[in-house]
Structure 1
């Protein structure tokens, strides 16, 4: 995910959290869009940028909701309420919270307590093994870690931006 697209996605996720959206509510909306056959603009790079129309597929819905859930859980892991939520409904299901809270909390603790902006991927893979019984590929874990750190930088900046 490019930096600008990632920033826009995080911003949209933070807004969705604040507005009271839930992972399942957003999943239903994306599935309805997928089933309607709607086409979205997708950027592909072939030595330059090209805009292409594409239909939404089920794997994209699941991955999008997972990334939004990670943003929501990251906000829950901040030590002070950084984002006010306009709903008392939990943002993610108990299952998703159980699966990802430890992952996000490890990163949030490193960010807030130790002033770190990166953790060893192996540490996060061990957390995944402990909770889910399996770990994702290192590149996927690193991408998810970057999403958490980037979300923390948006909702609770610790250092001046250069």
Structure 2
């Protein structure tokens, strides 16, 4: 039986084309930036897990968002408390960060004990460069989560991993937010695995 993981998406239309998937992810990314993490972050991750399962790649979704930016189209945001939603343009720096988050979600899924999320495509979800840059980072956190039952790590350990791979490390606050993204992805993947065991 084929299971489709689908949480809090506004409609099935969100997942009918790669453009719709890219827009859905970007809306959820903007929601985290504008309204904070917690449930908003889990919604972004859930949409990312769906994109992974459906065989999307980080580069394919980046291209969709860049095409939207180039066309000058505005995206309607997710409805706010007042029922009205804002429209916004897509900017390059936001695309970069959104797709980086997505790449980290995809790589985290690759670091989970199999099988958690089944991917319906043989195409790698991220490029070799992105995998090289982030696999160690995600694997350290996955090991802490699955083997040691931890939900947090010293930021310094992760900065050292970044330094070893890329020669530079991000600011502690940025590294902490990346770590939160990985731990939250592991929680979402664990809940998916528990649903089907």
The alpha-carbon deviation at position 42 of structure 1 amounts to: 5.2
Q: Deviations over 1:64-113 (max 9, x none)?
A: 11000000000000022200000000000000000000000000000000
Partner of 1:142 in structure 2? 176
Match of 1:36 in 2: 71
Partner of 1:109: 143
CA distance in 1, matches of 2:184, 2:130: 20
CA RMSD of aligned residues (A): 2.0
Separation of aligned partners in 2, 1:41 and 1:125:
36
In structure 1, what is the Cα distance between the partners aligned to 2:76 and 2:166?
34
Residue in 1 aligned with 2:105?
A: 71
Give the Å deviation of 1:35. 1.1
1:80 aligns with 2:121: no
More strand by share: 1
Deviation at 1:51, TM superposition (A): 4.9
Find the counterpart in structure 2 of residue 20 from structure 1. 55
Deviation readout 1:112-149 (Å, 9 max, x if unpaired):
00000000000000000000100001111000000000
1:98 equivalent in alignment to 2:119: no
Aligned to 1:40, what secondary structure does the other structure show? Answer: strand
**1:60 paired residue among 94, 105, 109:** 94
Structure 1 residue 41 displacement after superposition: 4.1
Please, which runs of 5 or more residues in structure 1 have no aligned partner?
none
Higher RCO (CA < 8 A, seq sep 6+) = 1
TM-score scaled to structure 2, two decimals?
0.74
